[in-house]
Structure 1
Amino acid sequence: MSLFPAAAPAASSGSLTTADLRRVALFLVLATAVSTGLSVPLATGRLPLTAVGLVVPLAQLSPLLAALLVRRRDEPWRRSLALTVPSWAALGVAGLGAIAAFVLVPLARILIGLGAGAPPAADAAPVLALVLAVPMVFAMQAAFAIGEETGWRGWLHRELAPLGFWSMSLVIGMMWALWHLPIVFALGLAPREAVTYLGTIVAVAPLLSALREISGTAWAAVIGHGLFSSARVAIEQNVLGTVDPALAWLLDLSSWALWIAVGWMVLRVAGGIGPVPDPQPRARRGLSVRRLGA
């Protein structure tokens, strides 16, 4: 038995129908409307910024809710959202790949920074404290990420698959960044911080899509998202001190290039960029749900 599900021929570019595009647009409008509605009270001062710990997890549910509303009804919702697991072995390998990526890229960023003269952090947390805290933060962040990843790398990943992997993953990344804009404004991030935050979201999107691609399930992206918000943050924020703007840009651009390169490497190591076939292909591809035993 092969470790990874057999790859299917890549979908032809530009084969999205008008109905597909309308469904995708409605998904984005619904998800962004919810995140905007939840962010406005923070932005206007009706809620204190300390409420962000409640607002953000609620906003993270909006991609899931939007996908459930716009999905086709000709297959089970778990398949629509890529919550089935075609191969536990593939998911395990994707999980190991995610751990490696979300540890090594931040470490590479630190090495680049130290090599360029960045100072070490003056108030870094003890290593033991970080080692103990990261698993707990990961579990919490991964649980919150389910709402996002079932929408972005679950439902939307398959809907945009006809664009080809790289176009699909970067379009999702840009939509994902757009969805984050309301909370960025609500938190009052400075322009420089906002660019770093949103640029990193776009750059890491192909890696999360690659994890979903090689495993055939959104659960791999959930794992990656949890590591992105836990292990990466712990490493990047506890080693280097404050750097000047020029070095900050160098670190950002280097990290963005590394995220994209690692996404490419994950695909290549896993056997190429051919998409893993869906456990239940969509009805529009000419296959009957009932005939496939759904």
Structure 2
Amino acid sequence: MSIEPTLLHHLFENLNMDAFPDTDGPLERRRLGLFVTFAFGIAWATAGYIYASGGLTDSPTVVEAGPLSLTLAGILLPTAYMFAPGIANVLTRVLTREGWDDLGLSVGFFDHWRAYVAAWFAPGVLTALGAALYFAVFPQYFDPAAESFASAAAGGADVGMSPLALVALTVGAAVVINPLVNAVFGFGEEFGWRAYLLPKLAPLGLQGAVVVQGLIWGAWHWPLIAMGYEYGFDYGGFPWVGFVVFLAFALAAGTFLAWLTLRTGSVWPASLGHGAINATAVVAVVFARGDPDYLLGPLPMGVVSVLPWLALAGYLLSRMEDGAPAARSTSGVPPASSADE
């Protein structure tokens, strides 16, 4: 008697990864050093400017036109900060004369459509599971009718729709539309972290490379965590505990994004997945009320709500073996080259 494969089996087990970097060559230390220096230097300099200008909470408004209001931080974060890794990729290639043959820009949608589906919708599912787990542990913060969110979103004005319709529109846009919009900014990071750093770390072994790139990605966020991003300021051990907790999330989410890149040989699924992670985080707060401790949840980077992400990351890491076939020449994400020029 056969058992029907699960959704997880269809998405992650049946897909034979075919875009592995070569794990046999030496580390390209010069290129790695340059890339990390540029990625961190540009981003952290941007964070320093944001901090000096009022931080994330008191950033000055620079664009105000009717309902549209943009702060300095709101402009610099999705541009200079998020695109720093992608810029680092380009600068490192220019300075070391690496060439442009392995950028990971092939699309391959029809060959890898399951990976694109996973990139688009898995983050929303994982975020919902994490939020449900958080609300099960802390039910006092659960607002099943989303009345608090609807009231805050309307701001006391007549928005021309019922609270339920407003919530449905918000969640629907977060899951279906906003991942595509946010993928533009996600590309700025993924073109650096997953398309460049990940294959360069392949000599550490596939699992080692995935873990290290996730931790580096997490540490890159630390100046933002120190300015209250994700967790605020009111938790014990600020900001050091926040640094550690975010590393756990970055390791988990970075493993998922690395899997998308390794599976397809393209940066685009990871960019979409990154966009979906950012877009669907709102689903967790739609059903929150009161003043939850964001270090614990319900956003996906909380101690409790990150657990589904960590479970998936553990599963994906267990499926990655260093002896897998090397990347095909058309994959986009290259085998690591033998040495610096």
* Bucket of the pairwise TM-score, normalised by the shorter protein: 0.7 to 0.9
Q: CA RMSD in A?
A: 3.5
Alignment length, in residue pairs?
Answer: 276
Alignment partner, residue 173 of structure 2:
133
Hey, which of these two has a bigger chunk of helix by percent?
Answer: 1
Say which one has the larger Rg.
2
Q: 1:60 corresponds to which residue?
A: 82
- State the TM-score, normalized to the length of structure 1: 0.78
Is 1:114–2:135 an aligned residue pair? yes
Instruction: Give the direction of change, closer, same or farther, for the CA distance of 1:275–1:30 in structure 2 (3 Å limit).
Output: farther
Q: Return the match for 1:98 from 95, 102, 119.
A: 119
Name the counterpart of 1:217. Answer: 266
Q: Percent identity?
A: 24
Q: Hey, what's the Cα distance between the residues in 2 that align with 1:123 and 1:182?
A: 31
Query: 1:201 is matched with which residue: 236, 246, 250?
Result: 250
Match of 2:38 in 1: 30
Could you tell me which amino acid in structure 1 is paired with residue 75 of structure 2? L
Cα deviation code 1:247-278 (max 9, x no counterpart): 659x8344434213323545778999936615
1:124 paired to 2:124: no
CA deviation string 1:53-91 (max 9, x = no partner): 11112211211111112135454x2x4331123x43343
- What amino acid is aligned across from residue 124 of structure 1 in structure 2? F
Q: Aligned AA for 2:135?
A: L
1:240 aligns with 2:288: yes
For residues 278 and 112 of structure 1, the distance between their equivalents in structure 2, rounded to whole angstroms, comes to: 41
Q: What SS does structure 1 have at the residue aligned with 2:306?
A: helix
**Structure 1 residues 160 and 278: alpha-carbon distance in aligned structure 2, compared to 1, 3 A threshold:** farther
Who is 1:291 aligned against? none
Letter of the 1:53 partner, please give it: G
d(CA) in 1 for partners of 2:245, 2:86: 26
Asked whether the 8 Å contact 1:116–1:247 carries over to 2, the reply is no
Matched residue, 1:256: 306
Unpaired stretches in structure 1, ≥5 consecutive residues: 287-294
| 1:277 equivalent in alignment to 2:330 | no
Amino acid aligned to 2:274:
H
Q: Which residue of 1 aligns with 2:187?
A: 146
Shift of 1:28: 0.8
Contact 2:134/2:304 (8 A) holds in 1:
no
1:178 aligns with 2:186: no
TM-score, with normalisation over the residues of structure 2?
0.69
Residue 203 of structure 2 is aligned to residue 162 of structure 1? yes
